[in-house]
Amino acid sequence: AQSVTQLGSHVSVSEGALVLLRCNYSSSVPPYLFWYVQYPNQGLQLLLKYTSAATLVKGINGFEAEFKKSETSFHLTKPSAHMSDAAEYFCAVSDGGSEKLVFGKGTKLTVNP
Amino acid sequence: GAVVSQHPSWVICKSGTSVKIECRSLDFQATTMFWYRQFPKQSLMLMATSNEGSKATYEQGVEKDKFLINHASLTLSTLTVTSAHPEDSSFYICSAIFNKETQYFGPGTRLLVL
């Protein structure tokens, strides 16, 4: 069975600092991996996805993630945090693009001025 | 990118009534849509997979007679919460598969059952 573990339910950074949100997955097949962002009272917006192509994936709003098979990780990073990045971030895994997603518990990112 | 809409965005109803939530893919056709439920400060839990022209597939523990799903066209899936009770109050989010590769999510529907 697939699973996702997001380390740290809350992460707080200063504006301009590096953002690092951790995600480890478990999957019996080559995974599809996703990062989504959710602003309060809204649905989820896709940040980026890994679908077995390049291991370093670039997404929207300056975010990127690196797929590391040996570490079963797919951590999300952004070099310089902006106030507008404050939101809840979800990592998710699936067997394929058309398959159901299994979500991590989410990480709430706070950006301090 | 692909756009998914939901209607209504907010609904308040009395206990015992039924509520219908619509999920539409606006600029693409989706043979598969998913329905999720999210409780406050929690992650999304998949309720069911909605396939156009066939019966929905429900996750373990989800009552199919309570949460009726109809995927009558390639752009519309509906979730009906029948005989709603306060414990059904939640944030319901749908998603649709685009290009057989990526799920795009609707903005969600907040249901409050009094």
- Residue in chain A closest to B50 (alpha carbons) equals A100
If you average pLDDT over residues A6-28, what whole number do you get? 95
Q: Is the pLDDT of residue A97 over 70?
A: no
Q: Is the pLDDT of residue A29 over 90?
A: no
Closest CA to A62 of A75, A50, A80, A45: A80
Work out the burial of residue B110: count CB atoms within 10 Å of its CB; fewer than 13 is exposed, 13-18 middle, 19 or more buried.
Answer: middle
Token pair in block for residue B53: 């022209």
B97 touches chain A (CB under 8 A): yes
Interface of A with B in 60-89 (CB under 8 A): none
Does residue A52 contact residue A45 with C-beta atoms inside 8 Å? no
Q: Which tens digits make up the pLDDT trace of B26-84?
A: 989 988 999 999 988 888 899 999 988 889 999 999 999 999 999 989 999 999 999 99
What pLDDT is attached to residue A56?
Answer: 94
Q: Which tens digits make up the pLDDT trace of A32-45?
A: 999 999 998 788 89
CB atoms inside a 10 Å sphere around CB B108: 23
Q: In whole angstroms, give the CA distance from residue A98 to residue B50.
A: 12
Q: In whole angstroms, give the CA distance from residue B2 to residue B23.
A: 13
What pLDDT is attached to residue A96?
Answer: 75
Cα A28 to Cα A31, A37, A71, A94, A103, distances in angstroms: 8, 26, 14, 10, 16
Q: Could you tell me the end-to-end alpha-carbon distance of chain A, in angstroms, rounded to an integer?
A: 41
What pLDDT is attached to residue B72?
Answer: 83
Q: How many CB pairs under 8 A join A and B?
A: 54
- Which helix (H) or strand (E) element contains residue B49? strand B44-51
Q: Is there a contact between B43 and A104 if contact means CB atoms under 8 Å apart? A: yes
Residue with tokens 């990112």: A109
Q: Which tens digits make up the pLDDT trace of B41-56?
A: 888 899 999 988 889 9
Q: How far is B24 from chain A (nearest CA, A)?
A: 14
